[in-house]
Chain A
Amino acid sequence: MRRVKITFRVIVFVLFGTLLHYALPQHDIVRVVNTYQERQDLNDWTRIFWARPDTQSATLVNRDVQFIQTVKQRTALFGFVPRDATEVMVYRNEDTGWSWPFYFKFDTANLQTEAADLASTAEAPKWAVITHYGWRNEYISAFPNAVAIRPVDNPDVTIIPWFNIFFFIFLMVAIVFGRAMWRQFRERSVDPLLDAAGHELDEVQASVAARRGRIKRWLDTWRAKDKG
């Protein structure tokens, strides 16, 4: 039972962590190479890796999506450790509108223009920081969604993930607070009820035992006295 409990907790923790890794903002240091727009089919399960910019887009079978092609500085350990290497990365650029994930992004066209403005060559690189969420997966054609871009002077800038810091502090506080609320609820509302129910059960059992005692005594009066 203990092992089942631990397994269950690990699964919940991993699933929740995966969800956060997908949805929370991350920063990449990139050099924009080009931008393009391509028609995308949206009618299979990989639909979950595309945004839903407005209500009508939920039922569309395909639509045009904008993309930003970049060369990106490689990192390790969730982006905390910079590495001296580059790789290519392609971002999609879609509105998230009023729905999940809650970035409330409506400025796709502006972002595309800014990205195009920053395009540069390997010989004369212009570096920029792209804020994005989501994953790149070549086999199912999933792309991270770019949320913002800002130019930086050199590719060695230190980025402090303020949003994520506050998010995790808030998450910890919310969990501790939720536990306190649940304990108070149990102590003040559930336990007294259980105690009362337990007390009632004791009384019922006692009265059953007493009645059985009476019946037994009555039966005993019919028994032959010498059998004892």
Chain B
Amino acid sequence: MGFIKLVVFGFIGLTVIYLSISLFSRSVRKERLEDAFDEAHPDGGAAGARDAFIAEGLAAYDASIRPKLIGLVYVVPTVVIGTIIYLVNMN
């Protein structure tokens, strides 16, 4: 029962962290794309070019490995807990 409680609440907590980091990482990437475009086009560029550039950059970001690495938020604590269980109870 204690185990189920830990799994359920742990999963909820880690999901909150996972979603926060996902949003944060995407937001940082978007800001960087905006800055890159503004630097390259000080006059503002053609109509719609800025949105297209950012959409393209975010699509590339979604396809890259970075957002998938955020899944480690679930993996690392599980491995750490497994290691602690092993170290504390084995001799």
- Interface of A with B (CB < 8 Å)? 52, 54-55, 97-99, 102-107, 110, 114, 147-148, 180-181, 184-185, 188
Contacts and interface: CB of A to CB of B under 8 A. Distances in A.
Given A103-B84, A184-B27, 10 more contacts: A54-B2, A55-B1, A55-B2, A97-B2, A98-B5, A104-B84, A106-B85, A147-B88, A148-B88, A188-B31
Interface of B: 1-3, 5-6, 20-21, 23-24, 27-28, 31, 81, 84-85, 88-89, 91
A147 B89 CA distance: 9
B31 A107 contact: no
Contacts of B23: 185
Contacts of B1: 54-55
Given A181-B20, A184-B27, A185-B24, A106 B89 contact: yes
Given A147-B88, A184-B27, A185-B24, A104 B81 contact: yes
Contacts of B84: 102-104
A163 to B, nearest CB: 9
A98 B91 contact: no
Given A104-B81, A107-B88, A181 B31 contact: no
